[in-house]
Amino acid sequence: MAFNENSSKILKKLLFRSISFVFAFAVAIFIVVIMASRKADKLIKADVQVETARFQNAVNEYYKKEGIYPEIAGFENNLSLVKSPKNDGFNFSTFYGTEQIYEIPENLKLHRERSNQIVIKKDKKGGWVYDKKSGKVTPNI
């Protein structure tokens, strides 16, 4: 079959439509990825807010029961070791509900690593800032 002027026009149209379809598909995928990323960021932010309230409530309940704020730093992954000074069988995991503190997710763009480490001064590297004197808990983000 020999190519003539008519088949050349059909081939050009087919090529143009194929390129247009691929371009439109790539733009659609890009938009979906951006929207999903923003949605994920909102979900992470909501999780961090919920966990901050949960952590703060546990610290406040411990204080009401024991009269002092708990010494949590260093025990982030084993909260049952944060014992009651009154030896009444309570530990911080009783108030918090789990054995380890929630890990704040990483964010490569913000140079934040996945961490549940407790620090005294905010450095925005992940984990939590805990002031033992006031009992205030904030995410280190």
Structure tokens that stand for 5 in this block: 């002027």
What is the mean pLDDT of the segment spanning 80-86?
Answer: 86
What mean pLDDT, rounded, does the chain reach? 88
Per-residue pLDDT, 130 = 95
Whose tokens are 């309570």? That residue is: 90
What sign has the CA pseudo-torsion 38, 44, 48, 51? positive
Per-residue pLDDT, 61 = 94
Per-residue pLDDT, 41 = 82
Q: Is the pLDDT of residue 1 over 70?
A: no
Could you report the per-residue pLDDT of 25-56, keeping only the tens digit for each? 999 998 888 888 788 788 888 999 999 999 99
Could you report the per-residue pLDDT of 51-79, keeping only the tens digit for each? 999 999 999 999 999 889 999 999 999 99
* Higher pLDDT pick, 1 / 107: 107
* Higher pLDDT pick, 98 / 112: 98
DSSP SS3 for 82:
coil
The residues pairing with 100 across neighbouring beta strands, listed in sequence order, are none
118-119/128-131 β-pairing: parallel
In this prediction the pTM is: 0.72
Per-residue pLDDT, 2 = 55
Per-residue pLDDT, 87 = 74
What is the mean pLDDT of the segment spanning 117-121?
Answer: 91
Could you report the per-residue pLDDT of 94-104, keeping only the tens digit for each? 899 999 999 99
Domain that holds residue 58: 5-139
Report the domain count for the chain: 1
